[in-house]
Structure 1
Amino acid sequence: MSAIKNTHLELDKRALANRFGSRAESYEAATPVQQVMGQCLLDRIRSEQPNVNVQEILEVGCGTGRLTRALKALFPSANITAIDISQEMIDHATKQVPGPVYLVIDAEEYLQLVNRQFDLIVSNATVQWFVHLDKAIERMCSVLAPGGFLALGTFAERTFCELADAFNCAYQKNQLAVQNHVVPMKSVDYLRQLLPEAELVERDVLAHFADVRTFLQSIKDAGAVNSQAGRRPIPRTVLRDMPHYYEALYKKPGSREIQATYHTCFLFYRRPPD
């Protein structure tokens, strides 16, 4: 698969698949925030359950199968199609949660190809990696059955804002042009405009880490490093100074720990019945 480009982002999908695949074994332990997000999706889906006759489910970006397992338990008679871009993630999910139909495919490509409808479409911490999110949301709505429910969880613009601030300070100290080393996320306003009929819920989740090194390792263990093609390496002096600024600005009061913001955002939409 070649790199996909648009005016906002040049994302190497092959690199993305490889990075997530290499972290399939460590992913669940490294992603407690994603687990919290998945639980938020499940809680809302349960509350909608009496209003939706769920026979066909599509999970976009199933990863290791953590959410897939819960969906299978909640809807034991439903047919689940679970897709992911990483072969290693699918292999892990297949072993952990047998039963669903698993497909290794880029979700954006799948949404353009699929010609069936689903009663429930769920995606957790995946759509932030899409290149053409507007087209993907449009396709999700088109393959959502009348009366069906769409539940998406993603990250928004303030995610890792502390890390971005620390990098900016380090670049300025070294009198270098500031470069962005934090994965760019969509704004809440942009997400709201994608599907105005949807309910949008946003929540800041603050995570705490022993130090900056531990925080950065958690990002690496989750496979969520920046996959923008052509990105420049970080200057050594910036790497040296960034942790000092991070700890000076964002150390947890009364503690040696540092904080990191995960700006989570959820879209909930039920298609009107025919």
Structure 2
Amino acid sequence: MEKEIQYEFTELVKNNFSKISENYDQHSQIQKKCASLLVLGLDKDKKYNEILEIGCGTGHYTDLLVKKYPRSKITAVDISCDMLFRARNKISHKNVSFIPGNIEEITFTKKFNLITSSACLQWLEKPINTFRILSEILFQDGVAHFLIYGPKTYKELDEVLSNHLGKGGWVTARNFMSKDILQNIFQKYFESFTITEHILTETFSSLMDFFKQIKLSGTRGYGLDKKTYLGKNMIKQMEDEYILRYGGIVVSHQVYLCRAVKPKTKS
């Protein structure tokens, strides 16, 4: 039963992103900010012969990596073939190879000097096992450099939904890994690490515009229960409460900038 649920969620995430791949770049401004924040944390003078990017999407972060490390070999993975199609059309660099697949299931035959991912790893179904595998395919003294969404993402929406629909947890981000969980994982598999929290914000003109953005950016996760119906009156009431509470349709994105180093083997 657990495997079936995990498979269903993985397929849901893949389908969400596949459906919006054609227009994703137009509705992923916050994801582009995440990619810029992540690449700024990488040392340009550092030499990474082999780079693995997890969840490359349409290739925005991949393009930033190519520009920063033009001589590195980059392996870019994504679960959605539709997203990879866009990435391949965007990037034709000879050192970049694209692989379709779920990072939690792929077996790699080589190791990497840098493993990096922007706004993807919060969707992992088995984070502990996956981080263990990633540490194993990282060279000694190699770097893991991730930006991961935290559980307080869309917290304003979750509070308003909870007030109108009862209880909490309406927003999928509630299930994302907390800083404490990430610290425990990194401490287990890496020699040294830092986790820095950032809050990125967006503002929308209406609640419906925000809902549209969630759908078109592929970040809806499970979405609302199919039995839950939000009529026009309820949406208007929720919007009024949202504006009263926060002074507008302000949306928070909690992200963790994570950097870790693979320990050297003790002699």
| TM-score bracket relative to the smaller structure | 0.7 to 0.9
2:125 is matched with 131
Q: Give the whole-Å Cα distance in 1 for the aligned partners of 2:227 and 2:130.
A: 31
Secondary structure of the corresponding residue to residue 21 of structure 2: coil
- Is 1:190 matched with 2:176? no
Check the 8 A contact 1:11/1:131 in 2, yes or no: no
| TM-superposed deviation, 1:241 | 3.6
Check the 8 A contact 1:119/1:149 in 2, yes or no: yes
Could you tell me which amino acid in structure 2 is paired with residue 58 of structure 1? L
Check the 8 A contact 1:57/1:78 in 2, yes or no: yes
1:15 is matched with 12
- Is 1:268 matched with 2:259? yes
Structure 1 residues 170-216: Cα deviation after superposition (integer angstroms, max 9, x where no partner): 12xxxxx4363211322111111110231101011121111111111
Check the 8 A contact 1:3/1:13 in 2, yes or no: no
Q: Return 5+ residue gaps in structure 2 as ranges.
A: none
5 Å matches for 1:167-246?
167-171=161-165, 177-178=166-167, 180-183=169-172, 184=174, 185-196=176-187, 197-227=192-222, 231-236=225-230, 239=235, 241-246=237-242
1:74 is matched with 68
- Is 1:141 matched with 2:138? no
Structure 1 residues 39-75: Cα deviation after superposition (integer angstroms, max 9, x where no partner): 121111126x43xx31111000000000111111111
Could you tell me which amino acid in structure 1 is paired with residue 41 of structure 2? R
Check the 8 A contact 1:151/1:267 in 2, yes or no: yes
Check the 8 A contact 2:50/2:72 in 1, yes or no: yes
TM-score (norm: length of structure 2): 0.87
Check the 8 A contact 1:212/1:247 in 2, yes or no: no
Q: Give the whole-Å Cα distance in 1 for the aligned partners of 2:180 and 2:157.
A: 22
Q: Give the whole-Å Cα distance in 2 for the aligned partners of 1:215 and 1:102.
A: 32
Structure 1 residues 135-192: Cα deviation after superposition (integer angstroms, max 9, x where no partner): 1111111111112111010110111000001001112xxxxx4363211322111111
| Identity between Structure 1 and Structure 2 (%) | 22
1:109 is matched with 105
Q: Give the whole-Å Cα distance in 2 for the aligned partners of 1:161 and 1:180.
A: 10
Q: Give the whole-Å Cα distance in 2 for the aligned partners of 1:182 and 1:265.
A: 18
Secondary structure of the corresponding residue to residue 199 of structure 1: strand
Check the 8 A contact 2:113/2:143 in 1, yes or no: yes
1:64 is matched with 58
1:254 is matched with none
Check the 8 A contact 1:3/1:14 in 2, yes or no: no
RMSD of the TM alignment (CA)?
2.2
- Is 1:154 matched with 2:148? yes
State which of 84, 88, 97 in structure 2 corresponds to 1:94: 88
Q: Give the whole-Å Cα distance in 1 for the aligned partners of 2:162 and 2:263.
A: 46
Could you tell me which amino acid in structure 2 is paired with residue 126 of structure 1? C
Q: Return 5+ residue gaps in structure 1 as ranges.
A: 172-176, 252-256
Q: Which moved more, 1:118-127 or 1:218-227?
A: 218-227
Aligned length: 254
Could you tell me which amino acid in structure 2 is paired with residue 259 of structure 1? V
| TM-superposed deviation, 1:232 | 4.3
